[in-house]
Structure 1
Amino acid sequence: MIQPRIFAPALAVLALAAPAGAAETGDHPLLHQIAGEISPAQMKATIGTLVGFGTRHTLSDTRSDTRGIGAARRWVKSRFEAMAKDCGGCLEIQTPAQTVTGTRVPNPTEVMDVLAIQRGSEDPDRVVIIAGHLDSRVSDPMNATSDAPGANDDGSGTAAVMEAARVLSRHKFRATIVYAVLSGEEQGLYGGKILADYAKSRGWRVEADLNNDIVGNTEGLNGVRDAAHVRVFSEGTKAVETPEQAAKRRYNGGEVDSPSRNLARFMDGLATRYVKGLSVTMVYRTDRYGRGGDQVPVLEAGYPAVRVTETRENYNRQHQDIRTENGLRYGDVLSGVDFPYLAKVGRLDAVTLAALAQAPAPPEGLKIDGAVSDDTKLSWSASPGAGAYRVWWRATTEPRWSHSKAVAAGTEATLKDVIIDDWFFGVAAVSPDGWESPVEFPGAAGSFLSPPPQPAK
């Protein structure tokens, strides 16, 4: 509960608002349109084709035109090329690859990602990414020959990527959107590393990576169904945090305000407004216990990233040989995907990408002051394309941004009678036509687009 001595004087400046990111500056018809264009039938057709390749194991056949990882990635590339033709060449197709070896890759093997890059019209070096992994597996992670349909893990994520590309390539955005179909996830998260290395080599300023992995199932092992929620996992403190930054963060806060976590809050707000029948469950973890995904190497490269995953995983359908035992059916087959639910997740992905790519970047250089004072002062660097800003704050135990104040001009604000000690603060940039960025928390702990630290020489 907010203490009266703090809340009452602040009534003149604070606005009780929807969660940050829920288009506080106004509703956007474009996002409703995009949500309506996501097709469960298209997503089902995509997964059906992927399942038809038999196996998409990273170590499977690369020469066949009908079976294996090679045929699957060539088909993905051809679909992106067809979309590019439909939009007048708006997509640039790239296939970055690395030759890797490791515990699950005993012999040198080329691992290839397939990327479709939609260049932004005003801020092309600022990049938002959606990713899913193409490869599949059965019970034995080294079995590269048995049928591994991978309908949900991760045909569902790949379908979300490709459907976002199909819909969003019909529109123009200020920042660049990258649609990334990755390989090598089941063998060691290689696809995510290839993506991160490619982003770094191209000098991309990655604002967000939405890693979709297992997003189409609604029935758990216990038979409980949930088609109304999707989990968004986000790291608490940055993987690239230095000891000096950690010391400051431990003292002043920021454990729950990494850019990845404020990206999750942004998605939560968008789901409330634009995706009927779907709510975001924010999970304050990088991933599930003892498990990982391709967002991890992206985080390790210093970029904000979240993992999007269904709320009810069915482990009889993950990493399983196709079989029936004691009346139970095992295997990741097409019938295990709930396509109306998958479409809702796809709508959340698409509206998030569009909202991020249309809004200015979150303001950098955010500083805060107010020690031994009844007022809190914030200042920041101007964000290209911003026409205004919005200061947000919340109680330190609240999960979502709850109070806000519009800043019509300038790059600083004073919150009279709002005591710095008792709240967390952040700032979002707002375009002249009302697109609002995610909230940025002050300092290194919350910075979205600061360059990742360079390796020591």
Structure 2
Amino acid sequence: MRSPLAIALSACLVAPAAAAEAPAAPPATQALLHDIGTAPSAARIEADVRKLVSFGTRHTLSDTQSDTRGIGAARRWVHAEFERISAQCGGCLEVIDVGDTISGEERIPEPTEVVSVLAIQRGTADPGRYVIMSGDIDSRVSDVMDFTSDSPGANDNASGVAGTLEAARILSKHRFAGTIVYAALSGEEQGLFGGKIVAARAQKEGWRIEAMLNNDMIGNIAGLNGVIDNATARVFAEGTRANETADEAKQRRFTGGELDSPTRSLARYIDRMADLYVPNLDVMMVYRLDRFGRGGHHRPFNDLGWPAVRVMETNENYNRQHQDLRTEDGVAYGDVIEGVDFDYVAKLTALNAVSLAGMASAPPPPAEVSIEGAVTADTTLKWTRPPASQAPDLAGYKVYWRLTTEPQWTHSVYVGDVTQHTLENVVIDNYFFGVAAVGKDGSESPVVFPGAAGSFGGY
């Protein structure tokens, strides 16, 4: 949303008293993330999209026995590709199928296996903390129940799966403190079933999910509105948690936080990573769960209270979404490969990769963040420090604040390895506040807003 220069300048806008007390901060950027920001290959992504299109249809109800056509062949190929990537990094990925049998649903009336493929790159210090990148493997045409017609699904959503595979190729060459999951999720078009199944498993196994980035259509640059744009991406982020309690809602009414849910904080983090590390890409944060009245595979994670966003192209071509392959009145319909810009997919893949790497490298977001300062001139924030084993590279913390009408953080101060800090002559009534954890290499967690409204959970 803002240029790197603007970010650097705004970071210097600190209260005089706070600046005088601040210890020396770690580096502002990381060389590794600059490398990752330009690493994705459009050629490799194109090869993956073409391979996924070659399966004819990837409809959830399509053939699972054929080796060349249908959802079964597609998911087995994705599994094998993850295994191949893992072999190149010495077995660093745990590749698993996660599925269940669904039946009796409007779009899945008969018993049907819905199987997603996950590649898990375990963290070195904090493996119980997860950041996830996903794409949807299934496709459809005009009739959501038509599982036999050709359904290329080139942009929706071979692009997202190809981006996820490419991110795995790049990030698996490195090691991170937190765990990264690369997911090809099934059953999206029939009711978000793949995401529901994986989210339920994560909840059962006690995953501490810091972020879920759902990539659903990241390849189209020519919108039906006539706009051609390869330099922006949208990040959809809902406000208050879907599972917020009545007591938490009451507290939020008096303290704020509807703009600073963990999901919104994640969106701001992704926006900042674009500004710092991905050339010629600007993020449009959209304060909504998804496109108007629509949904995606991040929603099952939001439903359970986790930070989850949808990453996608800014301008859509609806003639190429959920359409039978045909030409009418000179207009071509269908989600064909000609509608995918592979350089753009590479750019949005880079956005995901730097965000995943940044969060997985950084210490966990601060927990139990609280704030006080009513009827005083000063504002004090407090938080807890994680166990040393989970954050061996923790350097300290950074306190952020902004006017309540600002979309991004505009002021910050590094305060060192402490668990509270007072901003003198910064009035609590006039700003929103937050705290981020900072690693010795300068990597940062997302900013955490005080109270239940902004909490990323415990350690």
Give yes or no for TM over 0.5.
Answer: yes
1:424 aligns with 2:424: no
Equivalent position of 2:46 in the other structure:
44
Q: Aligned-pair distance for 1:202?
A: 2.0
Pick closer, same or farther for the CA change 1:190–1:9 going to 2, 3 Å. closer
Supply the distance in 1 between the matched residues of 2:432 and 2:198 (Cα, whole angstroms).
33
Equivalent position SS for 2:258: coil
Equivalent position of 1:78 in the other structure:
80
Gaps of at least 5 residues in structure 1 are 1-7, 16-22, 452-457
> Please, which of 415, 439, 451 is the counterpart of residue 443 of structure 1?
451
Equivalent position of 1:20 in the other structure:
none
Equivalent position of 2:135 in the other structure:
132
Q: Aligned-pair distance for 1:197?
A: 1.0
Pick closer, same or farther for the CA change 1:325–1:9 going to 2, 3 Å. closer
Pick closer, same or farther for the CA change 1:286–1:450 going to 2, 3 Å. farther
Equivalent position SS for 1:263: helix
1:97 aligns with 2:88: no
Percent of residue pairs bearing the same amino acid type: 58
Q: Aligned-pair distance for 1:433?
A: 2.1
Equivalent position of 2:403 in the other structure:
395
Q: Aligned-pair distance for 1:449?
A: 2.4
| Counterpart amino acid of residue 197 in structure 2 | I
Q: Is the 8 A contact 1:9 1:417 kept in 2?
A: no
1:301 aligns with 2:309: no
Equivalent position of 1:415 in the other structure:
423
Supply the distance in 1 between the matched residues of 2:243 and 2:27 (Cα, whole angstroms).
33
Equivalent position of 1:355 in the other structure:
358
Equivalent position of 2:159 in the other structure:
156
Q: Aligned-pair distance for 1:450?
A: 4.3
Equivalent position of 2:115 in the other structure:
112
| Counterpart amino acid of residue 107 in structure 2 | R
TM-score (norm 1): 0.94
Gaps of at least 5 residues in structure 2 are 1-12
Q: Aligned-pair distance for 1:9?
A: 10
| Counterpart amino acid of residue 148 in structure 2 | T
CA RMSD of aligned residues (A): 1.5
Q: Is the 8 A contact 1:185 1:293 kept in 2?
A: yes
Equivalent position of 1:54 in the other structure:
56
Supply the distance in 2 between the matched residues of 1:9 and 1:425 (Cα, whole angstroms).
13
Which moves more between the two structures, 401-410 or 133-142? 401-410
Q: How many residues align?
A: 437
Supply the distance in 2 between the matched residues of 1:235 and 1:25 (Cα, whole angstroms).
31
Q: Is the 8 A contact 2:37 2:279 kept in 1?
A: no
Q: Aligned-pair distance for 1:13?
A: 2.4
Equivalent position of 1:314 in the other structure:
317
Equivalent position of 2:284 in the other structure:
281
> Please, which of 121, 125, 128 is the counterpart of residue 122 of structure 1?
125
TM-score (norm 2): 0.93
Equivalent position SS for 2:37: helix
Deviations, residues 420-457 of structure 1 (Å, cap 9, x unaligned) = 11110000001122211110000110011249xxxxxx
Runs of 4+ in 1 over 6 A off after TM superposition: none
Supply the distance in 1 between the matched residues of 2:14 and 2:449 (Cα, whole angstroms).
24
Q: Aligned-pair distance for 1:301?
A: 1.4
Supply the distance in 2 between the matched residues of 1:211 and 1:160 (Cα, whole angstroms).
11
Supply the distance in 2 between the matched residues of 1:163 and 1:330 (Cα, whole angstroms).
28
Q: Is the 8 A contact 1:14 1:404 kept in 2?
A: no
Q: Aligned-pair distance for 1:131?
A: 0.6
Equivalent position SS for 2:38: helix
Q: Aligned-pair distance for 1:257?
A: 0.1
Equivalent position SS for 1:47: helix
Any residues of structure 2 matched to 1:3-402 within 5 Å, and which?
10-13=15-18, 25-101=27-103, 102-383=105-386, 384-385=390-391, 386-402=394-410
Supply the distance in 2 between the matched residues of 1:118 and 1:382 (Cα, whole angstroms).
25
Deviations, residues 252-301 of structure 1 (Å, cap 9, x unaligned) = 10010001101111111110111111100000001011210000011111
Q: Is the 8 A contact 1:126 1:206 kept in 2?
A: yes
1:406 aligns with 2:398: no
| Counterpart amino acid of residue 92 in structure 2 | C
